[in-house]
């Protein structure tokens, strides 16, 4: 099958890659683009481990064709820290041990950032609802939810 040429932008950098017409965005990120921070949990849109942003909107990379990224701005977990400077959510997840195996963590962080960008002052219920599409088999969710709430409070204080 002949490959398709895709031109897009990932974490603010212009990129080009070749892919099969049926390749998912998750395949492209973890394959030709070499960005393995985005994880595959289920491959069927059920776990949120592959969460990325497309023009700022949260999307499951396993449900998106790679060719659909043409001309769009893709955001992945690799773009969350700025150099050595972790995003406040990443810092708080570390401080509060809001992760164990870490497979869900990139998706949790991407979904949490998307949530706080829309709603900087969420209630606990809103955080739980905002992360309802992200499954974690390890932490029991409480530490994750507390980390997001604490980060939101700190970011509001710093604003
Ligand atoms: S790997 Fe995409 S939602 Fe589970
Ligand atoms: S930390 Fe293991 S699945 Fe969430």
Burial 137-154 (b: 16+ CB within 10 A, else e): eebebebbbebbbbbbee
Domains, the chain, in order of start with CATH, read 4-79 (3.10.20.30), 88-158 (1.10.150.120)
63 CA → ligand 1 middle, Å: 8
Instruction: Read off the pLDDT of each residue in 52-72 and give the average, rounded to a whole number.
Output: 98
Mutating to test ligand 2, I would choose from 42, 104, 134, 141 the residue with most ligand atoms within 8 A of its C-beta, which is 104
Model's pTM, two decimal places? 0.96
Per-residue pLDDT band at 1 (split at 50, 70, 90): confident
Question: Beta-strand (E) ranges in 11-149?
Answer: 13-19, 51-54, 57-60, 73-75
pLDDT in tens, 15-37: 999 999 999 999 999 999 999 99
Ligand that comes closest to the CA of residue 108: 2
Q: Whose CA is nearest to atom 2 of ligand 2?
A: 101
């Amino acid at each position: 099958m002949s490959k398709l040429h895709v031109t897009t932008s990932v974490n603010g950098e212009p990129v080009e890659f070749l892919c099969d017409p049926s390749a998912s965005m998750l395949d492209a990120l973890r394959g030709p683009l070499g960005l393995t921070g985005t994880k595959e949990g289920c491959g069927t849109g059920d776990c949120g481990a592959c969460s990325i942003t497309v023009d700022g909107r949260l999307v499951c990379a396993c449900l998106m064709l790679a060719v659909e990224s043409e001309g769009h701005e893709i955001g992945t977990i690799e773009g969350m820290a700025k150099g050595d400077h972790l995003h406040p959510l990443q810092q708080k997840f570390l401080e509060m041990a809001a992760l164990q195996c870490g497979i869900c963590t990139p998706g949790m962080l991407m979904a949490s950032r998307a949530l706080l960008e829309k709603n900087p002052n969420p209630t606990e219920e809103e955080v739980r609802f905002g992360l309802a599409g992200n499954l974690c088999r390890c932490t029991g969710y409480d530490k994750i939810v507390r980390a997001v709430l604490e980060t939101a409070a700190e970011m509001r204080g710093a604003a």
